Amino acid sequence: MPATSIRNFHTRALCHVRSLLTDDVAMQTVACSIVALRLDYCNGLLCGAPVTTFDKLQRARNNLARVVCQCRDRTDARPLLRSSLHWLPVRQQVIYKVTHKVRTTATPAYLSNLVQTHIPTRALRSSDTPLLVVPRTHTVLARHAFSVADPSIWNSLPADITLCESIYTFKRHLKTHLFRLT
């Protein structure tokens, strides 16, 4: 059974038990633990994936948002995702996960070894911003590798986000920035 069918199956199952859960927080917790977890699993691998892949995943996330918020099938899910649930769109969620992997200290060694800090050869005004080395690639497929995609995304972030001292403020500023991009 394809992954999309499994997610749709679980979303339809949540529709049936929605009336049994009286608390909206409980419904959101159940929805996140059953369906959203499957949507977010290994989504860091989706850097540079085709638009059709993101569209399928976004439709599944939109359906889940409608179920959680008890809205009709044709209701626009973007306001629900943003204001009610505070969920990022799938494409921005991938960016969030990838940049979060660089910033956290719990990054596995095999990932942290792929990312190197850029050391400028001379002192410039831009020397204060923590940039990462983006390896050169010759193929489009190679640009999707973590070692290339992650530094590219990190270097494109505004300086006020990359210079955050704590993980908590970094995540908050990053999520706000990604919501502005939508």
In this predicted model, what pLDDT tens digit does every residue of 142-173 receive, in sequence order?
888 888 888 888 889 998 898 888 888 998 99
Q: What is the pLDDT of residue 1?
A: 46
In this predicted model, what pLDDT tens digit does every residue of 104-145 receive, in sequence order?
666 677 777 888 877 777 776 666 678 888 899 899 888 888
Other CB atoms closer than 10 Å to residue 150's CB: what's the count? 22
What gap in Å lies between CA 48 and CA 91, rounded to an integer? 9
Amino acid at 146: F
CA distance to 13, 27, 71, 73, per residue, from 17 (Å): 7, 9, 15, 17
Strand partners, 65: none
Q: Residue range 62-91: average pLDDT?
A: 84
Q: Is residue 178 very low, low, confident or very high in pLDDT (cuts 50, 70, 90)?
A: very high
Select from 120, 125, 117 the least CA-distant residue to 155.
Answer: 117
Other CB atoms closer than 10 Å to residue 67's CB: what's the count? 22
Q: What is the pLDDT of residue 17?
A: 72
The rounded mean pLDDT for the chain is 80
